[in-house]
């Protein structure tokens, strides 16, 4: 498959904050591609540059071989964009809003009518379409926003955090619909900080952290590349770093242990990669006993996307979310203190 989106060395700063640092990745025609990372990682900024809503400081963006920087109008014709925040007129009914959107796309009336009916059916919106959108739940509003972004049958659909705030039923409806779109030939680009969403939907993904791509590939290949099973071990509920390093040094000598990372954000827990089918838990417990360390908890599992993120950054995605939130709070406090 050819690449329908190509992004090369994308950089973007807001004041002294570098939101993007040489972001590069490509999206193939007809695939679902995921951008995974915590809030504040640079996903939305990347999407805003791609959809011509923001001008990058440097780098290149091509959609269907057309530059989004030098030919933004032509690129917009190829894209459908559904932002994270739903912005719809609460007075209009769902059908009225879609008719207005169709007129903005200059769709002929007979084409708009047919397309609106199709999308209302596919997204389960028939019973809501004659009600004012101000009465809709968050999940119904998100589905309507998705319909609006698809009216002109774009070559590429871009979704920024499509599952934020959705109940389980609405999330499953959106996921199923995106799979149908892909089967019909539409390329879908999704940003998300939900591991299960990207794992369930994406053919390939790029993991972004602090404005940089730290891993790229299919979910299965990224997980397989890690090798081995994963073990999360806590010596105590909140261990000291010294204890964790002592355990790390001793456990790393076991023949089935391939790697150990100390996760300081999770009470200095130890994350081990071990050879599959090595029956490691009893041997780990025995080793800790020999050096007079307890074992508060231990779990074993196959690799996940969170393990991919952990291997690349030394923290899992939840920890990264907390760190990003703390940075935003600190920045807000400093800004308030300067007033």
* DSSP conformation class of 2: -
* DSSP conformation class of 132: B
**CATH number of the domain at 3-222, out of 3.40.50.2000, 3.40.50.300, 2.60.40.1230, 3.90.1330.10?**
3.40.50.300
The residues with which 167 forms a beta bridge, in sequence order, are: none
pLDDT at 117: 94
pLDDT at 171: 85
Domain ranges in the chain with CATH number 3.30.70.100 = 228-302
Three-state DSSP class for residue 70: coil
Question: What would you measure as the largest C-alpha separation in the chain, in angstroms?
Answer: 78
- 166-195: per-residue pLDDT in tens? 888 888 888 988 999 999 999 999 998 888
Choice between 95 and 309, residue whose per-residue pLDDT is larger: 95
Taking alpha carbons only, the member of 199, 126, 137, 193 closest to residue 168 is 137
In this structure, how many other beta carbons lie within 10 angstroms of the beta carbon of residue 82?
Answer: 20
Whether 224 shows a pLDDT value over 90: the answer reads: no
pLDDT at 265: 84
Tokens at 236, concatenated: 């105590």
Indicate the pLDDT class of residue 19, thresholds 50, 70 and 90: very high
Label residue 285 exposed, middle or buried (CB < 10 Å: 0-12, 13-18, 19+). middle
> How far apart (Å, rounded) are the C-alpha atoms in residues 87 and 89?
7
Looking at CATH, the fold of the domain delimited by 228-302 is given as: Alpha-Beta Plaits (3.30.70)
- 297-312: per-residue pLDDT in tens? 999 988 888 888 888 8
List the alpha helices (DSSP H) in the chain.
43-50, 72-76, 94-104, 109-122, 138-150, 168-183, 195-201, 219-226, 241-251, 280-290, 305-313, 317-338
CA angle in degrees (0–180, nearest 5) for 218-7-176 = 45
In 17-95, which ranges are E strands? 17-28, 32-36, 58-63, 66-67, 79-82
Q: Can you give the C-alpha Rg of the chain in angstroms?
A: 23
Tokens 């940003």 belong to residue: 191
pLDDT at 266: 87
Tokens at 59, concatenated: 């780098």
The residues with which 32 forms a beta bridge, in sequence order, are: 188
Q: What average pLDDT does range 248-262 have in this prediction? A: 94
Q: What average pLDDT does range 269-289 have in this prediction? A: 90
Whether 165 shows a pLDDT value over 80: the answer reads: no
Q: What average pLDDT does range 279-284 have in this prediction? A: 91
pTM for the model stands at 0.77
> How far apart (Å, rounded) are the C-alpha atoms in residues 192 and 201?
11
Whether 98 shows a pLDDT value over 90: the answer reads: yes
pLDDT at 108: 93
């Amino acid at each position: 498959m050819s690449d329908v989106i190509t992004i090369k060395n994308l950089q973007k700063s807001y004041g002294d904050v570098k939101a993007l640092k040489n972001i590069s990745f490509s999206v193939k025609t007809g695939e679902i591609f995921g951008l995974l990372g915590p809030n504040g990682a640079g996903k939305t900024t990347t999407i805003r540059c791609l959809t011509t809503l923001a001008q990058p400081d440097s780098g290149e963006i091509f959609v269907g071989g057309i530059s989004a920087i030098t030919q933004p109008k032509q690129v917009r014709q190829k894209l459908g964009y559904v932002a994270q925040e739903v912005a719809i007129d609460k007075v209009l009914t769902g059908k009225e809003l879609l008719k207005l959107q169709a007129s903005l796309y200059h769709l002929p009336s007979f084409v708009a009518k047919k397309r609106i009916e199709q999308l209302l059916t596919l997204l389960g919106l028939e019973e809501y379409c004659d009600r004012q959108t101000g009465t809709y739940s968050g999940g119904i509003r998100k589905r309507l926003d998705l319909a609006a972004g698809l009216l002109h049958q774009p070559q590429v659909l871009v979704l920024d955090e499509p599952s934020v705030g959705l109940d389980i039923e609405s999330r499953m409806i959106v996921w199923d619909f995106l799979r149908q779109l892909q089967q019909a030939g539409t390329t879908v680009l999704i940003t998300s900080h939900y591991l299960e969403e990207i794992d369930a939907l994406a053919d390939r993904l790029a993991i972004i952290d602090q404005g940089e791509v730290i891993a790229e590939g299919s979910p299965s290949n990224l997980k397989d590349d890690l090798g081995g099973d994963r073990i999360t071990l806590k010596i105590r509920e909140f261990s000291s770093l010294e204890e964790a390093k002592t355990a790390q040094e001793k456990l790393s000598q076991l023949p089935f242990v391939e790697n150990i990372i100390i996760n300081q954000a999770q009470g200095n827990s130890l994350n081990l990669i071990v050879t599959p089918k090595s029956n490691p838990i009893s041997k780990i417990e025995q080793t800790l006993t020999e050096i007079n360390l307890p074992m508060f908890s231990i779990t074993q599992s196959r690799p996940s996307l969170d393990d991919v993120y952990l291997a690349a950054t030394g923290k899992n995605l939840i920890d990264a979310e907390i760190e990003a939130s703390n940075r935003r709070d600190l920045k807000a406090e400093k800004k308030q203190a300067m007033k």
